[in-house]
Structure 1
Amino acid sequence: MISYSTLFSAKVGRYLTLILLLLVARSNTKAQQANDFLSFNPAGIEGNQIKIIPQGKTVKVLATGGYVDIRVNKALRITEGIIFRTYFKNKSVEKTVDNPFDAAIYLSPGNDFYIDLLDVNSNDLIKRYILQRPHLIPRIEFYNQENHHIYTTNQDGKEGAFKLPPGEKIRLELTQDNGFKFMHIEYVLRNLKTGKTQQGTSKYRIKDLSFEANTYYELRVNYVDQRESTIVVHIRVKPYWYQSIITYVSILVVLAALGILLITKTFKKRINISKKEQRKLEQAAIRLQSLLNPHFTFNALSSIQGLMNTNRIDEANQYLEEFSSLLRQTLATSQQVYTTLDKELEMMRLYIKLEAFRFNFSWEIEIDEELNLSEIEIPTLLLQPLIENAIKHGIGNLGDQGKLIIKCKEGAKKDTFIIVIRDNGTWVEKEHNGYGLSLTAERIQTINKMKKEQSIVLTFNKVEGTEAILTFENWI
């Protein structure tokens, strides 16, 4: 049976142990580091620092790096009646950790790790260790080459931005007032246009960072011990005056104006040359056309004379009336290089009618319905010499057996039409080189020079008689 004196002695011993523990907890920092229940040492990356702050029963352990090595000291190993409770505390969430002692534990910024020492019987808190990894954000001062202050980073970690003139170099000064020894920082400067980077580490300052004009950069800075807390600064380097949009636009406007002026001048010169050539060709065509008019007039007068010499006075009068109408139309178009196909055919009807009075042949004009005669223009009096030759050399001596047919039809090729002048006689001039035909060939040659994208082709075909074929290419 245990005596009261024995129980009293046990209680006294327990109280003495607790008093001894409290006295040890209140010792100074250096003694605490050596004689406290737990000791903490930096682990992980090089440069990790530990700072211990006693606050009564609570001891804060601040670590710059991620890992902290926790060791149980001798004072705790020989003490009985103490239990441990270890857990991470993130706001209201607690996560128990099994036996973290004599090992390294990793801390994330903002997620504290607690170690509670409790009395085994009363569960009262004897001591609490709070392991923290504070957010450490470098404070950077930016200076230019003239040592003028440009910018200071935000201590709250928010992104910042500033502008630089072109050709500027800057210096970064590091200010560290976080209670730790000077810590190394690392930086990465990225050219957002090319993707090239400048990077390095320093403890006090970074000198002579250079930048390209008219470029955007991103600067990232953080402590080597704490890459989770990176500060970002956006830097826009202004362009040189000759790199600005206004300068580019001005140069483009000037170049465009000069180009337009040069092109306009060149076009005007070409247009003037073309107009001169066109006038020459038109004058040549009109000159050739004027040579045809007296030739045609002479033939018509000869026809009238022939009718009168054979006492065909009524026919001569009718012929003269028709000739007068034809002459008026011919004079009206004498200065026109082109006339519409319907007007040209109307003049040819009058002309053929006059010639039919004299030679008594039959004639016919056939027109395809697809052709719009009022929209097609052809050289004035181009058909007359060909019709005249068909009558004179083909059917003039056949009397009422003579037959003249004029056909206007679409060609086999796109935008092409054909005029065929067919007679059923036998020509005396086998080579088709009469005066009228030679003038017509010359006119066609002149017209083709004027119409470079269009052309007229004259061919002859011997069938039951003769066909004079005019092909108008790219004419519709």
Structure 2
Amino acid sequence: MKKITLLLFLLIPMAARGQYSANGILAIKEIHGGVVCDSCIVTMAGNVSGSAEKVSFLTPNLDNQFLYSDPSLTRELSTVDPSKFFVAMGRFSLDFYPYGKILVGRGEQIPYMDFKDLQFRTAVNGKLKNDWTDIVSLKNDPDFYIGHASADIRHEIKDVETTPAEHYHAGKFELLLGDSLNVAFRNKNTLADVYHFSIARVRSVPDYFNFVEFSSDKNFQDILNTEINKARTEQGPQANHFEIEGGHSAFLRFSNNEQYYFFGKIPRNSGIEYAIGKPENWQRLGGSEDIKFTQGYSYIYLDKPEPGKAVKVYLRYAHQRESVNEVTIDVKPLPGQPGWITLVQWILGVVTLALLAISIQKQRHKRQLARLNRKKNEIENQLQLLSGQLNPHFLFNSLNAVQSLIRQNAPEAANQYITDVATFMRTIMDSGRKELVSLAEELGIEEKYIALEQKRKTFTYTFRNECGNDLGSIDFPPLLLQPVIENSIRHGLAESVRNPTLTVTIRCDASDLIVAIADNGIGYDTSVKVPGHGLSLTGKRIALINEKLPAMQIVLQTKSSPGSGTTTEIRLLKWLS
């Protein structure tokens, strides 16, 4: 933040200038942590009027920017008295300043608007921000000290003492480009409108500079001493396209005096940032040192840019970084350089860039393929782990069944059951190692399991193939149905169920494969009951398969209610494509 160590003369309207002493000074300083910073003096921005029909106000801001009466930000306020104002910065305070009252207090015989009778209202883009409020109920600005001083300007102003100036803080505002703050005033006794003004934020970019081209092999200081004034474009709004000879250098020269000029008709170039080539890695013009009111210039130096190329210089203000002025400097080819050489260089450059892009794309594809392979291996390892967890779960349930047969004093049945379980375990272990089996093989495994269960519990099993396709040609995740069928037999087909029946149905719906497992058992409330270990493993397996095969999703839905049986439908989307 620049700390401009000087006090600005109070802006006096034309009607009052002849009567008010030129030694009246208004000082605005920053406040930090409730303490006034005497060296942190900022620009006196605002509109101060001695008219009895106007309300004077200040717009102090940390960007040291002024208030203007035209959207081009060039017209000084001392020559006009408008109700529409314009700013470049986005953040500022709004403080009402009773200038007429102060003039009367100093002996002036003029009418003035008494703030005790006034209320104000603010709106941004037509949306109410602050409703009618008595001005005199407001406090001082918490971020800026506003004070009066009287001094001879020939002396050091920084040593002048100040006294607090009466003012009323209406708030802090932040405007985007195109936003408009509207402030209205009324007499609180009659409710009659007495005054209004608006402040709009407009686009502002650094476009006041000298563009200087020169041919010289001298050092930088010699160029400034001998070359800088030989060929120059006068200060003013510049074109954004220039051309220089190949082998020449150029300056964009910004006047420091105009950067910090107070109330002139030339915009100030304060807070300029620039970038060369691309709008990134921005630098501050003139470096980081504070700049006072001194004669001199700041430069953007283009040292013999490459012939036949274009140089881009990007300019913006620190207080309006969203607006950028793009300046293009075309550099002509060197004299005698054939045009075909430039064309060949251009073609070679394009070919080189194309080959580089292809190489980068290949490397990117290799990295993506490596990531996909790692992900595939991780998913397959997790699927193997889950399949391994199914085998102990089935074995545990089978041992419970054997124990039940032993308790029933049926050793031969128990011995045969153990043999059948061992055979079935070998089958599911072989299938569990495979990523996919045929649907016919999966159904064969499940029918063996159902036969085992029918040895210890009486129920009817029905299989329906309504698909019409060859089930041996349809791929299917191994052992996906076993936990669902087990859940129906062990928990659904209770002894209380009459004519217990399990039905497995295969259907085809366009490219979708549907497997439905239904029982006429006791049913349950799906919103209350938590899935068992086997069904929980099945849900995890389906999630991993869906992650591995995103184009062929598996959806499991269960419908059940107490006393109405249970139907679980496994829909394999696009599985038949």
TM-score, with length taken from structure 1: 0.45
Structure having the higher helix fraction is 1
Greater C-alpha Rg: 1
Structure having the higher strand fraction is 1
